[in-house]
Homo-oligomer: A and B are copies of this chain.
Amino acid sequence: MHRELHDFYRAYIACLNAQAWHDLSRFVAGDVIHNGRRLGLAGYRDMLAEDFAMIPDLAFRPGPVVAEAPFIAARLDFDCTPRATFLGLAVDGRRVTFAENVFYEIRDGRIGQVWSVIDKAAIEAALRGR
């Protein structure tokens, strides 16, 4: 069971990194909720596509992944160069490293709800320090 959740998550991350948006419905429910907003599959896909547009070298790299039905929790480590503004910060093509700690609720084999927090304070500190 945990093994299945890990396999599922590995395939989901591969889908994101390949920007294989036609496959996203295999992983994400049609009525998915992200941080309390009912984005739905199309809105979720648009959010991800926009992330890649703003951050051309975006890559999802999981650190610890913790699975216990119905949840998956993952720490994602990012090392990338957002073009302009990111999370309201003027990154302007500088390289930033930061983490996202994210929880997923799996319903009927797909991601039904996401609770994500990005470490904005770490990005601010990095921009100040350089």
Instruction: Spell out A's residues near B (CB within 8 Å).
Output: 2, 63-64, 66-68, 71-73, 75, 87-88, 99-103, 105, 115-121, 124
Question: Does B115 lie within 8 Å of A68, measured CB to CB?
Answer: no
Could you tell me the distance in whole angstroms from the C-beta of A122 to the nearest C-beta in chain B? 8
Q: Please give, as numbers and ranges, the residues of chain B lying within 8 Å of A88 by CB-CB distance.
A: 121, 124
Q: Please give, as numbers and ranges, the residues of chain B lying within 8 Å of A121 by CB-CB distance.
A: 87-88, 118, 120
Could you tell me the distance in whole angstroms from the C-beta of A55 to the nearest C-beta in chain B? 17
Assembled-state Cα–Cα distance A118/B101 (Å): 9
Q: Please give, as numbers and ranges, the residues of chain B lying within 8 Å of A73 by CB-CB distance.
A: 64, 66, 73, 101, 103
Assembled-state Cα–Cα distance A62/B120 (Å): 22
Assembled-state Cα–Cα distance A115/B102 (Å): 12
Q: Please give, as numbers and ranges, the residues of chain B lying within 8 Å of A124 by CB-CB distance.
A: 88
Q: Please give, as numbers and ranges, the residues of chain B lying within 8 Å of A2 by CB-CB distance.
A: 68
